[in-house]
Chain A
Amino acid sequence: EIVLTQSPGTLSLSPGERATLSCWASQGVRGSQLAWYQQKPGQAPRLLIYGASSRATGIPDRFSGSGSGTDFTLTISRLEPEDFAVYYCQQYGSSPLVTFGGGTTVEIK
C-alpha cells in the first residue's frame, strides 16, 4: 500500500518568494500518476498538476510539478497572495487506487 508523506508540514514564506513542496511515496508511483491540489479555507480543492508535471486547465505557469518514482515536488516560482493555502499530493492507479498526502500549509511569513 502506497503512503504519501508531504514535507514540510508548514512553510512560512513571503509573497514573491519561491515555494518548494515535497511529496514522498513509500513505493514507486506507477507511471508518474501523481497530482497536486490546492485548498483554501472553506473551499473545495482545486486541481493544479496531474501526471506529475502537467498543469491543469487555467493554472498559472508559476506552478510546476516534477519528479518520478518516489520523489515528487511542487514548485511555486513566485508566491502571490492568493497562493497561501493547503496543498495536497495524490497518487492514483496504484494500490490502493487513490491516496492523498497529509498536506502542506503555505502560510504568510
Chain B
Amino acid sequence: EVLLVESGGDLVQPGGSLRLSCAASGFTFRTYEMNWVRQAPGKGLEWLSYISGSGTTIFYADSVKGRFTISRDNAENSLYLQMHSLRVEDTAVYYCARGLQGLIFDHWGQGTRVTVSS
C-alpha cells in the first residue's frame, strides 16, 4: 500500500522558516516524481513544486519561487520542502503527492498544517 505521511507543520511568525517532510512507503520511491500541493483554509488546491525521481529536475510555482526549496533523500524515502520568508498567505494544509507521469497526483498524504501568524 502506498503511504505518504507529512510532518513538520507548525505555527510560525511572518518572515519565519519551516521545513516539511514527507515519509514515503509502499512503492519504489526513487522511481517516482514527487510534488507539493497546498490548500488554504476553505480554498482550492495550489500546486507548489515538482521534483524528478533523481532530484535533478525541479520546478516551482511563481508564488513560492525563491522562497521554497524542494528536495528528496532517496536513501531515506523522504521528500522535503524548506520554506523561508513565510507570509500570512502561506497558511494552508500542505500535501505531498506522488506523480503519475509527473504532474498527475495519484497518491496524496493526509497533509500537514502550516499557520503563519503573529
Q: Which of A19-27, A67-75, A89-97 contacts B (4 or more CB under 8 A)?
A: A89-97
Is the beta-carbon distance between B44 and A37 smaller than 8 angstroms?
Answer: no
Is the beta-carbon distance between B50 and A47 smaller than 8 angstroms?
Answer: no
Nearest chain B residue, comparing its CB with the CB of A102 = B44
Q: Is A28 an interface residue (CB 8 A)?
A: no
Q: Please, which residues of chain A bring their CB within 8 A of the CB of B61?
A: 96-98
Is the beta-carbon distance between A100 and B108 smaller than 8 angstroms?
Answer: no
6 contacts between A and B (CB under 8 A): A46-B108, A47-B100, A50-B100, A50-B101, A97-B50, A102-B44
Interface size on B, residues (CB 8 A): 21
Interface size on A, residues (CB 8 A): 23
Q: Is B103 an interface residue (CB 8 A)?
A: yes
A45/B108 contact (C-beta < 8 A), A50-B100, A97-B103 known:
yes
In Å, the complex CA distance between A108 and B111 comes to 27
Q: Which 10 A-B pairs have the closest CB atoms?
A: A92-B103, A98-B47, A44-B108, A100-B45, A50-B104, A47-B106, A103-B44, A35-B104, A102-B44, A98-B103
Nearest chain B residue, comparing its CB with the CB of A34 = B104
Nearest chain A residue, comparing its CB with the CB of B35 = A98
A100/B46 contact (C-beta < 8 A), A44-B95, A44-B111 known:
yes
